Amino acid sequence: MPRVVRSSLRKELFANPIDGLVSVLLISGVGAAGYGLIHWALTQAQWVVIQANSTLFAVGRYPIEQQWRLWLLVALVAAATGLSWGALRGLPQRDRPITAVWPRNDRIAAIVLVALCGWAPAALGLAWPIQARWWALTALLLVLRWLAGRYASRLRKVATLGLPLLWPLLYLVGMVLIGGGLGLVTVGANEWGGLLLTLIEASFAILLSAPLGVVLALGRRSSLPLLRWGSIAYIEFIRGAPLITLLFLGQNILGFLLPGGLAPDRIWRAAWILTFFSAAYLAEAVRAGLAAVPRGQLEAARSLGLNLPQALSRVVLPQALRIALPATVGQFISLLQDTTLLSLIGLLDLLGTARSVMANPLYLGKSAEVYLTLAVLFWCCCAALGLGSRALERRLNPPTLGP
């Protein structure tokens, strides 16, 4: 064993007798638990419950003959991801004139992606043509990533204009592809399920609650008493109630509040409730960001002749939102987690699908396999969001400030 490793081990684990004892106990405990888990996963667990229901977990009861639309959507998302990823690396930045087109993190990400696409479809026991589709999708993503990284600097104008438009456009196209309309067969919201429903609800709520949260935060800091008190009342009402009671309210009372027939169906009701719920928490995050911007910034902007909306949108909000970014992404992560509550009001989101699968006598007593899979899935999504937020935070730090 090299001396460096030995000395750092000694310092970290065996600095004194008590530390040594604790370390030995912990290592044996963690080792035994890890061994038990791996032994169970490899020999006793029956993963067939996941393999047999993988489509159900992914898209719920989405009609099979219409599923090509979802494949098309996944392909579009893969293409857009590859393009944006490559363009982000390939475009010269103001503070970073020369960039490596394939930095180390990107190489790691690409390897992880390839490994995942090689392993997951095979482990799920998918048919060969479907496995091949996943390989093709990954290849599409990586090829576009390479092309965009290579040629983005030449097509600079198109890239800087097109990228911000790409994702909102894709979202609209995606909603049409999923829901139908414009010549496609309609697939009602009650046929969406599984991961698809979870992602739709979460993305809808995230997109709509962000502007609503900013408006509420501005209202709460406004000098006009009516706006201030209205915002405070709304925020505190929402934050004082558990989400499940609000979802319950949405399911049971929204029908009474709107004229007959106008009330949206249960999936959209839940989506709106999630939006309104999340907006109140976002407002608090943004308010903390606004409070951290010195008052002089607004006064300076006004004295330069900007009117209030201009001063807010050009001077105050960019600084406030940058400060509020970690808390905002934290709220988005908890919103993604909160979508599991939809299963309690009888919707078939990821957890609801899992519960319905478990109700099948064929899969009785397989809850450990299912719940562990869901836990890993959620963990990966949330951890990825957190990592992304930290990277964005580093990126957005103003280059001129700081030591």
Partner 1 sequence: MAGRLSASPPWWQNRRLVPWLVQGAVGLGILVVIAFLLGNLVRNLSAAGLLLSWRWLGQPASFDIAESLLPFNASEPYWRGLLAGLVNTLRVVGLGLIGATLLGTLVGSASFSSNGLVKRLARIYVEVIRNIPLLLQLVFWYFVVFLALPNGEAAIQLPGIVLSKSGLFLAGFEAGFHWSGPSLVDGVWQGPLRFTPEFGALLTGLVVYTGAFIAEVVRGGIAAVPKGQWEAATSLGLGPLLSLRRIIIPQALRVIVPGLNTQYISLAKNSSLAVACGYSDLYSVAETSLNQTGRAIEVIVILLAAYLAIDLAISLVMNGLNRLVQIKER
Binding site for partner 1 (CB under 8 A): 11-13, 15-16, 19, 22-23, 26-27, 30, 223-227, 230, 240-245, 248-249, 252-253, 255-260, 333, 337-338, 340-341, 343-344, 351, 355, 358, 367-368, 371-372, 374-375, 378-379, 382-383, 386
CB of 260 to partner 1, least distance (A): 7
Whichever of 3 and 157 has its CB closer to partner 1, that residue is 3
Looking at the Cβ atoms of 82 and 352, the one nearer to partner 1 is 352
In contact, 176 and 55? CB cutoff 8 Å: no
Q: How far is the CB of 246 from partner 1 (least distance, A)?
A: 9
The residue (of 176 and 368) whose beta carbon lies closer to partner 1 is 368
Is 267 in contact with 274 (CB distance < 8 Å)? no
CB 376 to partner 1: min, Å? 9
Shortest Å distance, C-beta 26 to partner 1: 5
Q: Which is closer to partner 1, CB of 75 or CB of 377?
A: 377
Joined tokens for residue 31: 């080792």
Select 13 or 155, whichever has its Cβ closest to partner 1. 13
- Please, which residue, 12 or 265, has the CB nearer to partner 1? 12
- Cβ count near 96 (within 10 Å): 10
**What does the radius of gyration of the chain's CA atoms come to, in whole angstroms?**
25
CB of 252 to partner 1, least distance (A): 4
Nearest distance from C-beta of residue 62 to partner 1, angstroms = 23
Q: Please, what is the end-to-end C-alpha distance for the chain in angstroms?
A: 40
Task: Give the residue with the Cβ less far from partner 1, 191 or 284.
Answer: 284
Question: Could you tell me the smallest distance in angstroms from the CB atom of residue 237 to partner 1?
Answer: 8
Q: Smallest distance from the beta carbon of 281 to partner 1, in angstroms?
A: 11
- Between CA 223 and CA 219 the distance in angstroms is 8
Torsion angles phi and psi, residue 96, rounded to 5: -145, 70
User: Based on CB atoms, which residue is closest to partner 1, 209 or 343?
Assistant: 343
